[in-house]
Amino acid sequence: MQKLRNAPAWSELEKLAPLVKRHHMRDMFIKDPARADRYTLGIAGITLDYSKNLITQEVLDALFELAEQRELKKKIKNMFSGKAINVTENRAVLHTALRNFSGKSVKVDGKNVMPEVLETLAKVQSFTEMVHNGKHTGYTGKPIHTIVSIGIGGSFLGPKIVTESLKPYWKKGIKTHFVANVDGCHIQDVLAQLDAEQTLFVMSSKSFSTQETLQNTLTAKAWFLQQGTEQKDIAKHFVAVSSNVKAAVEFGMDKENVFPMGDWVGGRYSLWSAIGLPISLTVGYKHFEALLKGAYEMDCHFQEAPFEKNMPVILAMLGVWYRNFMGAQSHALLPYYHYLRGFPAYVQQLDMESNGKSTTLDGRTVDYGTGPIIWGSEGTNGQHSFYQLIHQSNLPIPVDFMFPLKVHNQDDTHHNMLASNCFGQAQALMQGKSFEDCLDDLNTSSLNEAEKLNLAAHKTMAGNHPSNMLLFNEVNPKTLGALIAMYEHKVLVQGCIWGLNSFDQWGVELGKVLGNDVYDMIEGDMSMDGIDASTEKLIKHFINNQ
């Protein structure tokens, strides 16, 4: 494929960028009252208003043309059909098969994976039901009432954020904890709250080789055996999810208690697989299935809708516009819904572990920006913190606002205030406040002229800051599934434009390997010969002072 910078649409966008920078969105709305209608679309219970973006129709057309020139349609087709698009690991990328309700087969190397997908789903369903109806009990016959999910990265964030977001759907009587960090404070804090008789540990590790997860599970197991239990009781209280069933069994898991997953599911895309077991155990299988169905609806939309009406494509291409032509280096997610407060952290892993790369598929170093820094936190808290920088610094930061139209246990006053803050912030970012208006406000003040001019300069807000507004009918399993799938597909689209493999994570691997070596050095099992002086000094300082 030709270099990205040589794509004709890229040159067109380079020409448009300085022209568009001269426009103000305030004027665009005045000149074009139909703008909000034209740049709004809805799918799967999600409405996207992208009218508050610094774009013209010409820009959008060129962005969609760029997607054509980068062969996005082919990329989408290849992913859904099971081609090994994760080329550096020679693997298919098939999280979409896990929520494929079409009844059609999906083949990897000529083999239909759907029977194994459905078999695992059935296992998740029956185990969930057995825990909930008391057929699977703890070793003393008491029902399970606490789930402890142990995993990290994709084997943690997806289940945790979905579970947290679906609080109104939690099964009565079930409490779920998530432990990821190898920092012993976390697991010890959780263990201190548990009753061994009624606790189920779910160990989630695709590779079954992740240090944090193995150690936390060993600690949990040791604690369990100190509670007056015997080795044989472990089978009732420990289950595992992994693509490495052999390693799980060697570790001591009962084979029956291992939920398998295909190696064609990337860690950060795996919540739809048996990695979602803690979700199912917390909200019930019915709601877990609804989550998958929401994602499936987004998958169908993504495959079928033309680019200009395709939600993930639109969001992705707007991101490319800001990252490559408008100087943005980061992108903020601002959910106005307390239960979605962890969502920015989820998308952070999804996006940054996928597109935080600078080597193209054909091994060249990129000469353009790739994945942005993803960050953010819940509104309105952020308004009293980092929003200041978005409003008045000179860093361009596009944002996605998120707001549910309906919430459970609705208190109208609170909900109306939340809505007004969310919409008001988007409006303020877009329109800003001119120097003249700020000066006018100071007309009646007792300040002298010079002081008024100075203060007005400080109060001036340039505006013209782009935002997308994502409205949900409500955050239920279905809309949440669709929302997550939408961000997954956004990542695929951007990776395609930038020519990246969005599905490996070599950058993470080196840290893991060196971390293991350092551990052996701390334990005295490996010589420090040949390591850099700084690391050697740190290790010695730690050993001598711990």
Q: Nearer to ligand F6P by C-beta: 51 or 216?
A: 216
Sequence-distant (≥ 6) Cβ neighbours of residue 65 within 8 angstroms? 8, 9, 12
**Beta carbon of residue 95, minimum distance to ligand F6P (angstroms, whole number):** 12
Residue 501 found at the interface with ligand F6P (CB under 6 A): no
Distance CA(226)–CA(196), nearest Å, equals 10
Q: Nearer to ligand F6P by C-beta: 351 or 353?
A: 353
Distance CA(307)–CA(68), nearest Å, equals 9
Residue 153 found at the interface with ligand F6P (CB under 6 A): yes
**Beta carbon of residue 80, minimum distance to ligand F6P (angstroms, whole number):** 21
Q: Nearer to ligand F6P by C-beta: 215 or 392?
A: 215
Q: Scanning residues 185 to 244, which ones bind ligand F6P (CB under 6 A)? A: 205-207, 210, 213
Residue 159 found at the interface with ligand F6P (CB under 6 A): no
Q: Nearer to ligand F6P by C-beta: 151 or 284?
A: 151
Q: Scanning residues 350 to 369, which ones bind ligand F6P (CB under 6 A)? A: 353
Catalytic pick from 197, 353, 378, 488? 353
Q: Find the residue with minimal CB distance to ligand F6P.
A: 267
Size of the site for ligand F6P (CB under 6 A): 14
Residue 505 found at the interface with ligand F6P (CB under 6 A): yes
**Beta carbon of residue 267, minimum distance to ligand F6P (angstroms, whole number):** 2
Please say whether the beta carbons of 215 and 151 come within 8 A: no
Q: Nearer to ligand F6P by C-beta: 51 or 210?
A: 210
Catalytic pick from 31, 172, 384, 458? 384
Distance CA(544)–CA(109), nearest Å, equals 54
Q: Does the active-site annotation cover 384?
A: yes
Residue 158 found at the interface with ligand F6P (CB under 6 A): no
**DSSP secondary structure of 41-63:** EEETTEEEE--SSS--HHHHHHH
Please say whether the beta carbons of 208 and 321 come within 8 A: no
Tell which one of 45, 82, 138, 154 touches ligand F6P (CB under 6 A): 154
Tell which one of 267, 356, 376, 396 touches ligand F6P (CB under 6 A): 267
CA–CA distances in Å: residue 92 to residues 79, 353, 511 = 7, 17, 25
Distance CA(291)–CA(307), nearest Å, equals 25
Q: Does the active-site annotation cover 353?
A: yes
**DSSP secondary structure of 283-345:** H-HHHHHHHHHHHHHHHHHHHHS-GGG-HHHHHHHHHHHHHHHS---EEEEEE-SGGGTTHHH
Cα atoms in the 13 Å half-sphere on the side-chain side of 105: 8
Sequence-distant (≥ 6) Cβ neighbours of residue 346 within 8 angstroms? 157, 158, 161, 484
242 membership: H or E segment, kind and range: strand 238-242
- Would you name the residues annotated as active-site residues? 353, 384, 512
Contact positions toward ligand F6P, by CB under 6 A? 152-155, 205-207, 210, 213, 267-268, 353, 505, 508
